[in-house]
Amino acid sequence: MTLFRGRRILAGAMTLVAAAALAACGSKTTDANTSAGVTADVSGDTVKVGLLNSLSGTMAISEVTVRDSIMLAIEEINAAGGVLGKKVQPVGEDGASDWPTFAEKAEKLIREDRVAAVFGCWTSASRKAVKPVFEKNKALLFYPVQYEGLEQSPYIFYTGATTNQQIVPGLDYLKAQGAKSLYLVGSDYVFPRTANKIIKAYAEANGMTVLGEDYAPLGSTEFGTITNKVKSAGADAVFNTLNGDSNVAFFKEYKSAGLTATSMPVVSVSIAEEEVKSIGTQYLEGQLTAWNYYQTTPGAANEKFVAAYKAKYGADKPTSDPMEAAYVSVYLWKAMVEKAGAFDVEKVREASDGITFEAPEGLVTVDGATQHIAKTARVGKVGADGLITEVWNSGDPITPDPYLKSYPWAGGLS
């Protein structure tokens, strides 16, 4: 009977798919040489750097723009004479929104291309995947995206915000606005789960209630139930840590359910100008975001950055916080190398403390102890034109505190 034949074949298909998935997971990176680091190849008149971003898959919506701004910084630096007299030569790899692939490509950049530093990664899952690779090989990663904190690798420089420079100020803002209850929605991986742990600790210490907490797998596009739960809980605000284009589905559903920025505002920490554009302004107008930089941030350094970016990639391309942090990371690396007078990783790390840069977001300072940078927190509102306008900022740059040691309520977290 066709029926039974069909079933056996279907079982065969499932086995095949499962085998393929297993094979993909099982491809471990080689670790032939675990103790000694690999020295970068700086013998010629160029120095190679690695760019590691997802150019395909669910994270590409965000990571492609980071790649573009890193390329812009490298071009500008080369036009101005390079680093220590050497031209910077970028070697690009696609992490494909897949964490084992990130680890594999990192290994390749360090060992085969012998790059002096790698710029990239977006999701914390990808950073956690490559962290042991960089530590084992004693190589440098510049990570340009806000993240959940509670981490400090000697071989990673974190140029995006840690929690006390983004999420905590975002919560302070909500508290000042009178929000008493929150609903937490996030993607199901390390950043949203850790971020929500911190948010819950903050809420408890500050008299706010968390009415619910829901997670969707990365890439998930079915938000009917979550939206229903959010709506019936009736919180004062929603704290959104969804990543990638799940946000598209979530905000479409949110609007369909009749929820708006005035009835129940959403504060997002992973939606910047580029995402606003692709999600659609019609769904996001009036919603809040917490970042350190917006395209509209005033200042000469930003005007120059925005103009250069638009000249290279098109007038309709917005600039965003992670792009700015990635752009800044290349300049910070340059400054560290020049201060150290060498590309050697340990010397660069030693030279890092106190390095400042007049960034588009304002003055940033590298904190050598934590390898994070001091930056100003900003809360913004999405406008009808798709740009985000600042509604609040912290005034001065906030000193990075990845383990939230200076916050008594965060005692039990790390």
Question: Which residues bind to other proteins, rule: CB under 8 A?
Answer: 1-3, 5-7, 9-10, 12-13, 16-17, 55-58, 60-61, 64, 188, 214-217, 219-222, 224-226, 228-229, 231-232, 245, 248-249, 252-253, 255-258, 278-280, 282-283
Toward other proteins, which CB reaches closer, 40 or 61? 61
Toward other proteins, which CB reaches closer, 231 or 310? 231
> According to the 3-state scheme, what is the secondary structure of the chain?
CHHHHHHHHHHHHHHHHHHHHHHHHHCCCCCCCCCCCCCCCCCCCEEEEEEEECCCCCCHHHHHHHHHHHHHHHHHHHHCCCECCEEEEEEEEECCCCHHHHHHHHHHHHHCCCCCCEEECCCHHHHHHHHHHHHHHCCCEEECCCCCCCCCCCCEEECCCCHHHCHHHHHHHHHHCCCCEEEEEEECCHHHHHHHHHHHHHHHHCCCEEEEEEEECCCCCCCHHHHHHHHHHCCCEEEEECCCCHHHHHHHHHHHCCCCCCCCCEEECCCCHHHHHHHCHHHHCCCEEEECCCCCCCCHHHHHHHHHHHHHHCCCCCCCHHHHHHHHHHHHHHHHHHHHCCCCHHHHHHHCCCCEEEECCEEEEEECCCCEEEECCEEEEECCCCCEEEEEECCCCECCCCCCCCCHHHCCCC
Toward other proteins, which CB reaches closer, 219 or 299? 219
Toward other proteins, which CB reaches closer, 151 or 253? 253
- Cβ atoms 388, 272 nearer than 8 A: yes
Toward other proteins, which CB reaches closer, 209 or 278? 278
Toward other proteins, which CB reaches closer, 40 or 226? 226
Toward other proteins, which CB reaches closer, 222 or 358? 222
Toward other proteins, which CB reaches closer, 189 or 293? 189
Taking the complex as a whole, the smallest distance from the CB of residue 186 to other proteins amounts, in Å, to 11
**Residues 6+ positions from 21 with CB-CB distance below 8 Å:** none
Taking the complex as a whole, the smallest distance from the CB of residue 211 to other proteins amounts, in Å, to 13
Taking the complex as a whole, the smallest distance from the CB of residue 272 to other proteins amounts, in Å, to 15
Taking the complex as a whole, the smallest distance from the CB of residue 94 to other proteins amounts, in Å, to 8
Toward other proteins, which CB reaches closer, 1 or 32? 1
Toward other proteins, which CB reaches closer, 244 or 397? 244
Taking the complex as a whole, the smallest distance from the CB of residue 370 to other proteins amounts, in Å, to 33
**Alpha-carbon distance 36 to 38, whole Å?**
7
Taking the complex as a whole, the smallest distance from the CB of residue 29 to other proteins amounts, in Å, to 24
- Strand 362-367 with 356-359, pairing: antiparallel
**Residues 6+ positions from 209 with CB-CB distance below 8 Å:** 180, 181, 182, 203
Taking the complex as a whole, the smallest distance from the CB of residue 258 to other proteins amounts, in Å, to 5
Taking the complex as a whole, the smallest distance from the CB of residue 262 to other proteins amounts, in Å, to 16
Taking the complex as a whole, the smallest distance from the CB of residue 383 to other proteins amounts, in Å, to 18
